[in-house]
Amino acid sequence: VKRITVPDIAGRKGGEPIVCLTAYDAPMAALLDPHCDVLLVGDSLGMAVHGLPNTVGVTLEMMILHGQAVMRGARRAMVVVDMPFGSYEGGKEVAYANCVRVMKETGAQAVKLETSIEMAEIVAFLVKRGIPVMGHVGLRPQAILAEGGFKAKGRTESERDRVLAEARAVAEAGAFCIVIEGVAESLAREITETIDAPTIGIGASAACDGQVLVVNDMLGMFDWTPKFVRKYADLRTEIDRAAAAFASDVKTRRFPAEVETYFSKKPASQ
Ligand code: KIV
Ligand code: NA
């Protein structure tokens, strides 16, 4: 199987919508791979896998470990690894060294950075040195502590202008693709029509060149999901039902049954 490349994705502008889901481990990556163009090892793994309250505590080591696992499961999809909070904002050289580490140690095709205007310079530095960068504008989850919570972006005129300027700056810096998160349809449409790089939306309407969801959200594994999530399965209910049934069977000795039990062979006659 030939793996989808960065130029393949960059070339999807205005074409068939890009299909992207997050993945954090090898078996899930293998299940999603036949259906996805891009598998994103998102720092949402902080919540989805590690029980953290937000993405701020996610480390480079965690991203590398999960990136390696996803690469073992994915065959055809392009794999992109999120750079975690604190690993790229401090300066070009630090960002470069950490991105190189992620690419060398995971084998992933690209990295994703949450990108404000100030980040554009760092993105340009990375891209010029051969690192494929996916941008991320609009709602930026790594800024949760600075912002005191999450709200959709671009609802006021000045915020709209800022998010559009961010997308422009990051695209001009050479990002091959940009995730737009949590913005109104009109702004997502304007960004998508303005920049040459394809846009991948999450809570950003159907106007984008592709869509991404957190896999745990779309499988119904969280007790709460935002408005923009569509649940394609209800695994929470399924897992609860399965665990309850197992517990009941163990307590009433209906599990294991004979078919699930090993028996010793008749001892050979001496
Ligand atoms: O961490 C993540 O899962 C993400 C996507 C939701 C875009 O950044
Ligand atoms: Na992320």
- Per-residue pLDDT tens for 248-265? 999 999 999 999 999 998
Torsion angle defined by CA atoms of residues 183, 184, 190 and 196, in that order, rounded to the nearest 10 degrees: 40
**Catalytic residue selected from 89, 93, 166, 181:** 181
What pTM was computed for the model? Answer: 0.96
Range of the domain at 48: 6-241
**pLDDT on residue 76:** 98
Residues belonging to the chain? 270
Query: Ligand 2: distance of its center to the CA of 43 in Å?
Result: 4
List pLDDT tens digits, range 191-205. Answer: 999 999 999 999 999
Number of domains within the chain: 1
pLDDT over threshold 80, residue 178: yes
89 given a catalytic annotation: no
Domain-embedded: residue 269: no
CATH number at residue 21: 3.20.20.60
For ligand 1, is residue 202 a contact (CB within 6 Å)? yes
Task: Give the annotated binding-site residues for Mg(2+).
Answer: 43, 82, 114
pLDDT over threshold 80, residue 268: no
Query: Ligand 1: distance of its center to the CA of 42 in Å?
Result: 5
CA gap 112, 73 in Å, rounded: 20
Domain-embedded: residue 255: no
Domain-embedded: residue 266: no
CA gap 123, 111 in Å, rounded: 11
CA gap 258, 183 in Å, rounded: 57
CA gap 171, 205 in Å, rounded: 20
Cα atoms in the Cβ-side hemisphere of radius 13 Å centred on 209 = 23
Query: Ligand 2: distance of its center to the CA of 81 in Å?
Result: 9
For ligand 1, is residue 48 a contact (CB within 6 Å)? no
Of all protein residues, the one whose alpha carbon is nearest to atom 4 of ligand 1 is 42
Q: Which residue has the tokens 């055809």?
A: 76
Domain-embedded: residue 253: no
